[in-house]
Amino acid sequence: MEATQGQGSFSSSTSSSDEEWNWEEHQWRERMSKLSHDRKVKLEARDQMSALAGFKEAQHRQAALDAELDSFRQHYERGHNNDFSWTGVEDCSTSGRHSGLESSFDARTLAAWRKHEARHSPFHLYMYMQRFAIFEARAQKLLTAANIPWPPDEARILAALVALGSQACSDAPAASPQAASQAHHGTVLGARADILAEYRRAYRVATLRWHPDKWQHVTGALQLPNHEKAAVLARVHRICQNINEQWAAAQLNFS
């Protein structure tokens, strides 16, 4: 009987120990669950803060790129656009002396030359952007040799520029009767000199555009393969020779 009582006491003690163990295990699991939850919350908070910091950094980077692009654009417009852009006849009040120069080109050809002129300023601006890695930062497609605005007719570059300038004056508002009379009076004496002056301006712009030394830098900015670079520079050299020959012919014809 004493043995039976001893066994009952042992069973009661064992049961009490199991309950304490189960309770402690439960408490431990709750603590682990809370720690896991807290850790998850902290990780989520850290990820959110990291994403916010990345977003702000991207905003600052984009703002810096936009400011840099504006700076390059202003620099280009101040220092380069005037060199490479063709504005045509300086004084439209004398355009009557050499109006009709555009008639040597048909409408389709003149349209092609106007399109060609419109491509020059954007090309040089984007080329500068690419040279200073702005294109890469803005994830824009890089320029290639296919983007180069080659002249529609290499043998008539100067004549086309002068014709475009003459057409621009033809499209401008009509001059006053007095100015028109003065222009007509000076036709015989001044026409050849005026035309030569326009050819001289066209020659300056064309030479700046197609000078081989400048295109050494352009091909470097475009990062062309060697065979493409050689082909581009050879064509530029040929265009430059054509421009010099056209200017020499203009001097003979209008001096």
pLDDT of residue 19: 67
For 16-29, how does the pLDDT look when each residue is reduced to its tens digit (9 = 90+)?
Answer: 666 666 777 777 77
Q: Where are the domains of the chain?
A: 14-79, 83-254
- CB–CB of 251/196 below 8 Å? yes
Q: Is the pLDDT of residue 144 over 90?
A: no
Q: What is the mean pLDDT of residues 215-235?
A: 86
CA distance 110 to 170: 14
Q: Is the pLDDT of residue 185 over 50?
A: no
pLDDT of residue 126: 73
CA distance 102 to 94: 15
Q: Is the pLDDT of residue 184 over 50?
A: no
For 111-135, how does the pLDDT look when each residue is reduced to its tens digit (9 = 90+)?
Answer: 898 888 888 777 877 776 676 665 5
pLDDT of residue 242: 96
Q: Which are the contacts of 215, defined by CB distance < 8 A and separation ≥ 6? A: 232, 233, 236
Enter the pTM of the model. Answer: 0.57
Predicted confidence band of residue 236 (pLDDT cuts 50, 70, 90) = very high
What's the whole-number average pLDDT of the chain?
72
- CB–CB of 249/216 below 8 Å? no
pLDDT of residue 177: 41
pLDDT of residue 179: 41
Classify burial at 246, counting beta carbons within 10 Å of its beta carbon; exposed 0-12, middle 13-18, buried 19 or more: buried
